[in-house]
Amino acid sequence: MMLKAAFQYSYINAKIRSLKSMLLKRIDYENMSRISGYEGLVECLKRTSFALKWKNYQPSFDGLIQMYYEDLFSSYDKVIEMLSGNRKKLIQHLYQKYEMENLKVILRIISSEKSNKKLTGKSRYLLSLKKKTASFSAKDLLKAKNVDEIIYLLQGTWYGEPLKHSLYRFALEKETFPLEMALDLFYYKRLWQHISSLSYRERKIAQNLLGVQYDILNIFWIFRFKKMFYFSPEEILNYSLMHGKYLSANRRLKLAYSVDYNDMLNNLIGTPYKELLAYSDDPEICYRKLLSYKLSLARKNWQGFPFQIGTILDYLVFKEIEIRDLISLTEANRLSLSFDKVKDYFIYNHYAENSESTN
C-alpha cells in the first residue's frame, strides 16, 4: 500500500515541495510590513518568487492584485496538470470556486445593470481565469440581456442547475442573494461528492482538512446571518452546509437556535473552535482566527506521511492564505495604513512560523 502510494506520489510530492519552497518567507512579510508606498512594495516583491511574474504586469495596485491571483491560478494549473482521475476532478472543482466568484460578479452586474457605463466599470472586478480551463466565457455572459439568458448560456455546466432552481426567488425578490447562496450550497455539495469519490484513505485525509473548511463556513455564515441579516433559525439552517468535521446536524441546529454569542460558544464546546472564538465577537476577526486554525492543521498534516493527497491540499491552503495576506498588505499600503493598525488582518504570522521549519 505504502509502496503504491510512494510510486503514485513521488513526482507529485517532489513538485509540490518545490512549489512550496517558492512561497513567501517570514522575512519577506517582515520586509513588506515595514515599507510604505507602492514603489517599496514592488521592490520587496521583486526579491521574492514574484520577480518571475513581472513581465506582463500592469504597474498599479490593481495590477499587483491581478498578478497575485494569476500566480494562484497558475499554481492550481500546475497542480492539476500533475493529477489524473478523481484527484484531478477534486482539485479542478476547488479551482472552480474562483470561476463561481466571477459568475457571482456577472450576476450582480447583469441584474443591476442600469447603464452600459456601470457595466463596463464593474466588470473590472472579474478575476482573469485562464480560458482553456474555463467552463464559460465571461465576455459572452456579460452580453446577456438578463439572468434567464445567463442560465441558458450556462446549460451543460454545473452552474445551470442551482441557478435554474433559484430563478423563481430571484424573480420575486430582485436580489442576487438567492442565486449566490444556491451556487455556494451546490458547489459545496459537489465538492463533498468529489471527496467521497476518493479511495477510503484519501477520503479521510481530505475530509479531515476540507471538513474544517465546511465548519468554518458554517460558523461564519451562521454568525453573520444572525448578527447582520437577522435571519430566523429556520432560514439559517437552510443556508448551511450539510457536511463538516465537527459540526453535526444536531450541533448546527443548536447553533442556529442560539440566543446570543455566549450561547453559541457554549454550543461549540467539544470542538477546537470554542477557544478560537472566545476572544472576539467580530465576525471578520473570528473568520481569521478560524482560518489560522485551518492553516495550523495544514501545517500539522504537512509533516506527516508525504505520499498522499493531503500534501496537495495543504499546499493549496498555504498558497491561498499567502495570496489573501498579500492582498491585505497591498490594500493597507494603498490606504497608507500603518502596519500596527492592520496587523490583525494578516494570517502570515502563523504561516511564516510554519513555513520556515518545514522548507
182 makes contact with other proteins (CB under 8 A): yes
**CB 93 to other proteins: min, Å:** 16
Query: CB under 8 A: which stretch of 91-99, 111-119, 328-336, 340-348 binds other proteins?
Result: 111-119
Which residues between 129 and 158 bind other proteins (CB under 8 A)? 143, 145
Among residues 91, 86, 57, the alpha carbon closest in space to that of 76 is found at 91
Q: Among residue numbers 198 through 257, which ones bind other proteins (CB under 8 A)?
A: 231-235, 237-240, 242, 249, 252-253, 256-257
User: CA 131, 132, 133, 136 torsion: positive or negative?
Assistant: positive
- Does 161 bind other proteins (CB under 8 A)? Our answer is yes
**Judged by CB, which is closer to other proteins: 21, or 146?**
146
Closest distance between other proteins and the C-beta of residue 247, in Å? 12
> In terms of CB distance, is 232 or 262 closer to other proteins?
232
Longest Cα pair distance anywhere in the chain, in angstroms?
A: 61
DSSP state of 278: T
How many other β-carbons are positioned within 10 Å of the β-carbon of residue 18? 10
Q: Write down the least CB distance from residue 40 to other proteins, Å.
A: 27
Q: Which is nearer to other proteins, 3 or 259 (CB)?
A: 259
Query: Is residue 195 a contact partner of residue 90, using CB atoms and an 8 Å limit?
Result: yes
The CB-of-127 to other proteins minimum distance in angstroms stands at: 22
DSSP symbol at 257 = T
Grid look-up 466599470 returns 121
Shortest distance in whole angstroms from residue 76 CB to other proteins: 26
SS (H, E, C) 321-355: HHHHHHHHHHHHHHCCCCHHHHHHHCCHHHHHHHH
DSSP state of 308: S
Q: How far is the CB of 248 from other proteins (least distance, A)?
A: 11
- 230 phi-psi bin (left φ>0, alpha ψ -120 to 50, beta other): left
State the number of binding residues for other proteins (CB under 8 A): 32
Q: Give residues in contact with other proteins (CB under 8 A).
A: 116-117, 119-120, 143, 145, 161-162, 165-166, 168-169, 178, 182, 185-186, 189, 231-235, 237-240, 242, 249, 252-253, 256-257
